[in-house]
Amino acid sequence: MAAVRCQWALAELEQASISERTCNKVIATCGRQIQWQRAIQVLFQMVEVRQATSISCNSCMAACSRASHWQKALHLMRCLRGFIRHDGVTYKQAARAAGESSWRSGLRLLQEGFEKMTEADVIHYDLALSLRQSAGSDHWPEALHLMQNMVEAQVQADVRSYSSSMTFEAAWPTIGLLFQDLLQRMEADEYTCNTAVSAAPWVRAWCLLRRKEHGMSVVSHNAAMAGTPWFKAVQVLHTLETGGLKLTAVSSGTILSQSRDMEWQRPLWFLSRCQSRDIQSNSIVQSNVLAAHVDAGHWQETLGNVMAYHSRGGNLNVALKTLSLSAFSQAASWQKALALSASERIDVVLLNALVTCCARVARWQEGLEVVCGSLVRHSLRASVVTFNAALSACAAGQQWQLAVNLIEEMEGQRLAPDSLTLNSMMLALGEAGFWQHAFEILKMFSSCNCEANVVSFTTAITACPAHQWPQSLVLVQQAASDAAGETSWAAAVTTLGRAVRWREAMCLGHIAMEGTHDAVMLAYGCYQMLGGGSAQVTELRACKKELKELIETRNCHPILVRLAWHDSGTYDQRIKEWPQCGGANGAIRFDPEMNMGANAGLDKARGYLQKIHEALGFWWYLPW
């Protein structure tokens, strides 16, 4: 309707001759419709015929301000200085527009208007206080200085002036003095009373509440009860009721928030009192009451109240659902928890909590049966959290095949898995022997917008069978740049141990102890060199064959063992660094070491190995 009025006004302007009254009407109508471009066009038409006035300019600036184009408003003011004599309203309108983005610019314009107009009214000071308020709580001394200037200029402050000054986060004595001065001069409104009560200590707030003639409302009482001791909050409640004000859910929640350290009976008594007076409680009130129940260990009452509140149509917030989970966790008798959940209305969140509870007490089968039955009976749709809880229950009962069936069911319902779901899937598939599918799940993390963590890589590495030990090294290499942890390294070493790849396991373990995750390429190189089918592997096998023939033909294995023992150095358990021995540096290859009496005869052992060394010297470094 307002848009139609704007069109009518423009049509009237086109049909009639341009007059100041008609143009001002069009500008005001366009301003209310936030059509600031049209308003500016009409204003400049007035300027061309010399009919523009400060009223026209002020209306046009107000239109720009409503459209959040405060720069346009200031530009318009500067452009029209040579055509229109600006008044105090013009500067206030410009300051109000500029203050939306820059409180300093707004105050500068106010000061400029004050210097040109030579006097300021209460609207001028109220606007200055409002701009100081938007600047932050640190500017409360400037606000008090403005109030002092009002007194010196004999400008009568109004309620808005006091309200703006009291909203600063100043000390209570300052706010209290302002409030007392306000009460002596005029009647305070509800907003000002609420501001004073919120800033006052609870004792002062209590005194303010007893002065009912000053417009105290339910909001004032709620502010007074915040931070008040329990017994005083109840007295405030009594004052509120005797004053004819209706108790709200916010009032109840404020009182109950003061009773968390009290016995659980007091919040329950207060809740029953609210219900007897037909006071609608919200989820916050219920959370405060039930939190006291859980803290006292009364999980049965907690669950009963949650479900009763939910059956009456109340919405379960995060706090109530968390309390339900805590109550289920405290349930020492899982049979009673199952019976309680079956007898009342239940939703998916409570089912998830119930499954988690059953899994913790090793009753995974009963938990899954209740979930399946409740989903069908109440026509509920399982969520991702439901499947996560069910998979965790299967893991607790080592029912891996059942977990695989749940995974297929989840895929059929087209639910997007999260990180916990994917990790549970990999664990179930790995334990069930489907290691290939576990690797595919690891690749799904990026497509599902999830980030693979230490648990993810560890689970995938653990799923590697013995004959897939090279894959564990590949996963460790990948995890080193993402989320490798001690468990990932340990899982890889365990996989190598199952495959009887002790050399690779020791190499990987040595790298893990050094903490040089960038050296994983060395471990992967061990795989390529020792088991990857490269040329070095062929040479190593030839070396083993030559050594076997040497031992069988010359029967020289004792002296070869003696050579290895002498060259390895002396074991010292006090040495903490790897490999905990001294002298393992191949010193026996030099003549001074070889000519020692303790090493007599070892030159023959070196002679036996000379031929192999010349052919395959890449593998030798100790005796040569």
Domain boundary among 95, 113, 131: 113
Tokens of 410: 């989840």
Taken in order 199, 201, 205, 207, the sign of the CA dihedral is negative
The pLDDT value recorded for residue 540 is: 67
Each residue of 369-379: pLDDT tens digit?
566 655 545 55
Neighbour tally for 114: CB within 10 Å: 16
The pLDDT value recorded for residue 142 is: 62
Alpha-carbon span 624 to 382, nearest angstrom: 69
Q: Which amino acid is at 48?
A: E
Average pLDDT (583-606) is 68
Assigned domain for 526 exists: no
Average pLDDT (440-462) is 65
The pLDDT value recorded for residue 609 is: 82
The pLDDT value recorded for residue 613 is: 73
Domain boundary among 98, 113, 128: 113
Q: Tell me which of 235-249, 346-360, 428-442, 597-611 is least confident.
A: 235-249
Each residue of 29-65: pLDDT tens digit?
665 655 666 776 776 666 665 666 666 776 777 776 6
> C-alpha angle 599/600/602, rounded to 5°?
75
Instruction: Reduce the DSSP state of residue 577 to 3 states and report it.
Output: coil
Q: How many residues does the chain have?
A: 624
Assigned domain for 34 exists: yes
Assigned domain for 204 exists: no
Residues spanned by the domain of 562: 549-619
For tokens 């452009």, the residue is 79
Q: What separation in angstroms does the CA of 62 have from each of 47, 104, 334?
A: 18, 19, 68
- What does the longest C-alpha to C-alpha distance in the chain come to? 128
Q: Is pLDDT above 80 for 340?
A: no
Buried b (16+ CB within 10 A) or exposed e, 115-124: eebeebeeeb
- Total H helices, total E strands in the chain: 36, 2
Assigned domain for 472 exists: no
Average pLDDT (608-614) is 78
Alpha-carbon span 321 to 213, nearest angstrom: 43
CATH of the domain at 571: 1.10.520.10
The pLDDT value recorded for residue 274 is: 58
Q: Is pLDDT above 70 for 321?
A: no
Alpha-carbon span 435 to 395, nearest angstrom: 16
Q: What separation in angstroms does the CA of 242 have from each of 7, 212, 236, 237, 238?
A: 55, 11, 10, 9, 6
Assigned domain for 10 exists: yes
Q: Which residues contact 179 (CB under 8 A, 6 or more apart)?
A: 162, 166, 188, 192, 196, 208
Q: What separation in angstroms does the CA of 351 have from each of 318, 337, 367, 383?
A: 15, 11, 9, 10
Alpha-carbon span 37 to 76, nearest angstrom: 12
Alpha-carbon span 295 to 268, nearest angstrom: 13
- Can you give the three-state secondary structure of 128-190, one letter per residue? HHHHHHHHCHHHHHHHHHHHHHHHHCCCCCCHHHHHHHHCCCCCHHHHHHHHHHHHHHCCCCH
Assigned domain for 190 exists: no
Q: What band does 550 get if pLDDT is binned at 50, 70 and 90?
A: confident
Q: Is pLDDT above 80 for 144?
A: no
CB 495 within 8 A of CB 469: yes
Assigned domain for 45 exists: yes
Alpha-carbon span 258 to 273, nearest angstrom: 17
3-class SS shares of the chain: helix, strand, coil, % to 5? 75, 0, 25
The pLDDT value recorded for residue 232 is: 52
The pLDDT value recorded for residue 250 is: 47
Alpha-carbon span 517 to 489, nearest angstrom: 10
Between 412 and 340, name the one with better pLDDT: 412
Most confident of 7-21, 135-149, 599-613: 599-613
How many domains does the structure of the chain reveal? 2
Neighbour tally for 30: CB within 10 Å: 25
Alpha-carbon span 94 to 131, nearest angstrom: 12
468: which DSSP letter?
G
Tokens of 463: 């799923």
Assigned domain for 94 exists: yes
Question: Which of 438, 440, 439, 479 shows the shortest CA–CA distance to 457?
Answer: 479
Alpha-carbon span 495 to 217, nearest angstrom: 71
DSSP characters over 181-226: HHHHHS---HHHHHHHHHHS-HHHHHHHHT-GGGT--HHHHHHHHT
Alpha-carbon span 165 to 179, nearest angstrom: 10
The pLDDT value recorded for residue 564 is: 75
Q: Is pLDDT above 80 for 512?
A: no
Alpha-carbon span 64 to 425, nearest angstrom: 59
Question: Which of 398, 312, 389, 313 shows the shortest CA–CA distance to 350?
Answer: 389
Domain boundary among 113, 148, 177: 113
Alpha-carbon span 304 to 276, nearest angstrom: 19
First-to-final CA distance of the chain: 101
